[in-house]
Amino acid sequence: AAGVIQSPRHLIKEKRETATLKCYPIPRHDTVYWYQQGPGQDPQFLISFYEKMQSDKGSIPDRFSAQQFSDYHSELNMSSLELGDSALYFCASSRTVRNYGYTFGSGTRLTVV
Amino acid sequence: AQTVTQSQPEMSVQEAETVTLSCTYDTSESDYYLFWYKQPPSRQMILVIRQEAYKQQNATENRFSVNFQKAAKSFSLKISDSQLGDAAMYFCAYPGGGRDDKIIFGKGTRLHILP
């Protein structure tokens, strides 16, 4: 079965650089969520999109932005990277039917040096 | 605010034994879903089991089952016949509402399996 695809799997950037993370949801899933998980932490919600419109926003820094495209894939853009941005970034997708559940991608491990 | 609480940061269980992970949550909704996710060292987030709040019957998936107490807002996970591959971080999670029911996670319980 198709899963949520995230790219790249690993990314190393220097401070003050920019990073772009991509997420390809499961076909026919209309909602995409982005989470940030620091070492030893639980995942923290960043932002979500429903039908290509921003749906909800969590603790996302102003340096981060995201969008969902016409093919439903989503990109998380992170600028002026800081050491504290080093984390695992998850994308998840779901259908609006609440009982369907949420499927997570394998995550992008971002290291800022 | 919607919250999910896991009071056991770490637990250990002997291989082949049974272990129960605790979770409590807070919600004002009457119809909702609850989830347990497993995150092994690979850090892939894997759905273990799902419970629908309007169903009184506890969900079961092979060696994994839940004890869902709606009035007490309790949702514990029981793992029977523990295996080495069960070693992971386990997160209790709840769709926290809002327009898109984003998942809210508990802090997690790290489960160690002792051979």
Per the CB < 8 A criterion, the answer to whether B103 and B96 are in contact is: yes
What pLDDT shows up at residue A98? 54
Percentage of residues of chain B with pLDDT beyond 90: 72
- B15-54 pLDDT, tens digit each: 999 999 999 998 887 778 899 999 999 889 999 999 988 8
Alpha-carbon distance of B3 to B107, in angstroms, equals: 10
Residue B36 vs residue A31, higher pLDDT = B36
Over residues B87-115, mean pLDDT = 88
> According to DSSP H, which parts of B1-115 are helical?
none
| Band of residue A29 on the pLDDT scale cut at 50, 70, 90 | confident
Looking at the predicted structure, is the pLDDT value of residue A81 above 60? yes
Q: Å from B16 to nearest chain A CA?
A: 27
**Quick one: average pLDDT of B61-72?**
95
Radius of gyration of chain B (CA): 14
Q: Can you name the residues that pair with B60 across neighbouring β-strands?
A: B65
For range A57-69, the mean pLDDT: 94
pLDDT, average across residues A44-53: 91
pLDDT at residue B56, as a whole number:
83
CB A43, CB A36: distance < 8 Å: yes
Maximal CA-CA distance, chain A: 41
What pLDDT score was predicted for residue A102?
84
Distance CA A103, CA A93 (A): 6
Q: What's the pLDDT at B29? A: 79
pLDDT of residue A47: 94
Region B81-105: what's the mean pLDDT?
A: 87
The mean pLDDT of chain A is: 92
Amino acid letter, residue A89: Y
Contact A26, A2 (CB under 8 A): yes
What is the mean pLDDT of the segment spanning A47-71? Answer: 92
Q: Report the chain A residue with the minimal C-alpha distance to residue B49.
A: A101
Residue A83 has pLDDT above 70, yes or no: yes
| pLDDT attached to residue B114 | 97
**A75 exposed, middle or buried (CB, 10 Å; 0-12, 13-18, 19+)?**
middle
CA atoms within 13 A on the CB side of B53: 18
Chain A residues with CB-CB distance to B under 8 A? 31, 33, 37, 42-43, 45, 48, 50, 55-56, 58, 88, 90, 92, 94, 96, 98-99, 101-104, 106-107, 109
Exposure class string for B46-61: b at 16+ Cβ within 10 A, else e: eebbbbebeeeeebee
For the ranges A4-13, A50-59, B29-38, B54-63, the maximum mean pLDDT occurs at A4-13
Cβ contacts of residue B65 below 8 Å, gap of 6+? Answer: B49, B58, B59, B77, B78, B80
Query: Do A12 and A23 form a contact (C-beta atoms < 8 A)?
Result: no
Task: Report d(CA A42, CA A64) in Å as an integer.
Answer: 20
pLDDT value, residue B100: 62
Please indicate if any CB of chain A lies within 8 Å of the CB of B99.
yes
Handedness of CA B104, A90, A1, B66 (dihedral sign): negative
